[in-house]
């Protein structure tokens, strides 16, 4: 299955990319198989590397907990029943929301994945 990335206003088939690398001036150079190249902002690096592209979903043998924090305290958590193997080789926790998966560590206040609950609900 072809993977497309939206780069500088165009959808580019990743199969035509020969290589890409980050420069010292925080840009990414993309070299295509036809010999052409272009320089784009470094925000494209995680897309090109496959950081958020899940290639396999793996059920957890044991339930995990994705903890979320604020000011050093755990303020909430989600149960993680699946892990996602991403195209860049990383394994990341997946949260099931409304019949779709969300990668846990893309949430801004993500703290980490834990084998036991870290959330202590306040008793009122």
pLDDT along the chain (124 residues), means of 10: 68 80 89 90 82 89 93 89 91 88 90 87 57
Is position 13 within any domain? Answer: yes
Is position 119 within any domain? Answer: no
Print the domain residue range for 98: 54-114
Is position 105 within any domain? Answer: yes
Verify that 100 and 60 share a domain, yes or no: yes
Verify that 64 and 99 share a domain, yes or no: yes
Between CA 42 and CA 44 the distance in angstroms is 5
- What confidence score (pLDDT) does residue 15 get? 81
Is position 124 within any domain? Answer: no
Tokens of 102: 């969300």
Between CA 119 and CA 96 the distance in angstroms is 19
* Contact between 93 and 86 (Cβ < 8 Å): no
Of 16, 111, 18, nearest to 66 by C-alpha is: 111
- What confidence score (pLDDT) does residue 53 get? 84
- What confidence score (pLDDT) does residue 14 get? 75
Between CA 118 and CA 74 the distance in angstroms is 7
- What confidence score (pLDDT) does residue 2 get? 64
Is position 108 within any domain? Answer: yes
Verify that 59 and 43 share a domain, yes or no: no
- What confidence score (pLDDT) does residue 121 get? 65
Element (H, E) at 49: helix 45-49
pTM of the model: 0.69
Verify that 66 and 105 share a domain, yes or no: yes
């Amino acid at each position: 299955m072809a993977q497309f990335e939206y780069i500088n206003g165009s959808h580019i088939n990743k199969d035509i990319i020969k290589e890409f690398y980050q420069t010292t001036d925080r840009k990414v150079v993309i070299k295509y198989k036809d010999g052409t190249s272009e320089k784009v902002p470094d925000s494209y690096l995680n897309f090109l590397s496959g950081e958020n592209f899940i290639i396999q979903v793996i059920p957890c043998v044991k339930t995990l907990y994705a903890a979320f924090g604020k000011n050093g305290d755990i303020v909430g958590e989600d149960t993680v029943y699946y892990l996602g193997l991403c195209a860049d080789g990383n394994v990341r926790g997946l949260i099931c929301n409304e019949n779709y998966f969300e990668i846990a560590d893309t949430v801004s206040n993500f703290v980490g994945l834990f084998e036991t609950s870290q959330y202590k609900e306040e008793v009122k």
